Chain A
């Protein structure tokens, strides 16, 4: 039986080899203008501590937080409708509308926003394209399907019996939501938020196309370093930072969410 696992482990090993190559380059010296590298050095990581790069990290974290919150707020009503609707047709329609964009790929979806934010449909009162708020809109839009599906799954596991019980005891709809539905769907909220946040931290296509060079998230900086300046060591160091930040955040959230669950009797 153990043998069945081996091919998969080989695949993971190949992936690990790629990451190892990345980490190795992050500590090698960058020789400007060539593929050659010098000796071991911490200069790449030191370079990240510059205002320019730390700024990109900070911007990324802020954008990711904003995206997660807005996505959550925007997705919950749709997820609730998807989970609770009794009409099969409504559910099917909502599902298709939610899932379909999810499957058309980053370029197609971001390109659509290049059009809308670029004053194609109407002229925006404030510039939207190539600004952080434009990127935020694109990121929220991109994350909504994921959040909706995760929330809908969680909400669908909440037995409506509880909501009906609360209502029959005299609670208004808002109170039912706040005191019954929301807390019971918390696992979905947490997992959805974590996934959206982690994904947004490494977002690339959306800020690349909607940011116009002015909005650089971590992934864009890595691409610039690696494919523009041809600074593979520098790009590798920054990518390694992104990887570590993501892992730390996921671990931290994993700890936080494991706690309460263990205490439930």
Chain B
């Protein structure tokens, strides 16, 4: 009983700010008031028509697509190498590949800024994409490795012995069996890249900045509920995605061990 009350209170704590944001986003005036003084969609309109958000959203799509397109195959290959490659110390290689996770964002951000400035690449999205690939790769490797470890090589050997070429074996046997891990990897990669903020803050310019950076710039310069509206859109999209992932991909199973 106490447990249930505690959990309810804690869940309320976790969700209260979200509810406040959504409520404030409908306020008709530029003041952040709760409860809202009325119901207006003007801030949602502002979000969708603000040129810098439009540009930033497009940048987010490009950078995330580029980063994920690179990180997925690289990470998958690395996961297979770790699981199958008969490496002498797979743990050590794994630690190396996962190392970017422990580096503070500001250190990586400033480092990429200095490196990018030195190479004169800061005006293009190259440094952004490179940084995102590096930040996203550990998630891909980790998720894919779990799947790769559980892959029974006997299945692949069977296919090969039936005459399939290595590429065919990969496409028809390996890849489908890796699918759960790869889907989780894809989900993580996209989420991490879309929300990446600290490193991107350092290396973005007005023309290349991604959406979280544009939101940050807006928050420190304006005090109207526009970001509340944009946040609400984010929250809604995420809830839908996560619910779908749990329903159809058993996302919960990735974290929670199921019992009969």
Q: Do the two chains touch directly in the complex (Cβ atoms below 8 Å apart)?
A: yes
- Which A positions have Cβ atoms within 8 angstroms of B? 1-2, 4-5, 7-9, 11-12, 14-15, 17-22, 24-25, 35, 74-75, 77-78, 80-83, 91-92, 94-101, 103-109, 111-116, 118, 120-121, 141, 144-145, 149, 152-153, 156-157, 160, 198, 201-202, 204-205, 209, 218-219, 222-223, 226-227, 232, 235-236, 239-240, 242-243, 246-247, 250
Q: Are A205 and B235 within 8 A (Cβ)?
A: no
Chosen A-B contacts, 11 in total, with CB atoms closer than 8 Å, are A1-B86, A2-B87, A12-B96, A99-B246, A105-B197, A107-B231, A153-B256, A219-B105, A219-B106, A232-B110, A246-B104
Compute how far the CA of A2 lies from the CA of B71 in the bound complex, rounded to whole angstroms: 18
Q: Are A95 and B252 within 8 A (Cβ)?
A: yes
- For B18, the chain A residues whose CB sits under 8 A away are 101, 112
Q: Is the interface of A mostly helix, strand, loop or mixed?
A: helix
Q: Are A21 and B85 within 8 A (Cβ)?
A: no
- Which B positions have Cβ atoms within 8 angstroms of A? 3-4, 6-7, 10-11, 13-18, 20-21, 24, 32-34, 71, 73-75, 77-78, 80-82, 84-87, 93, 96-97, 99-100, 102-108, 110-115, 117-118, 130-131, 133-134, 137, 141, 191, 194-195, 197-198, 201-202, 212, 215-216, 219-220, 227-228, 230-231, 234-235, 238-239, 241-243, 246-247, 251-252, 255-259
Name the CB-closest residue of A to B237: A104
Q: Are A21 and B34 within 8 A (Cβ)?
A: no
Decide: A105 near B212, CB < 8 A? Known: A18-B108, A115-B34, A202-B105.
yes
Q: Are A98 and B14 within 8 A (Cβ)?
A: yes
From the candidates B77, B96, B110, name the one contacting A239 in the complex (CB within 8 A).
B110
Decide: A99 near B257, CB < 8 A? Known: A1-B81, A115-B20, A120-B33.
no
Q: Are B17 and A141 within 8 A (Cβ)?
A: yes
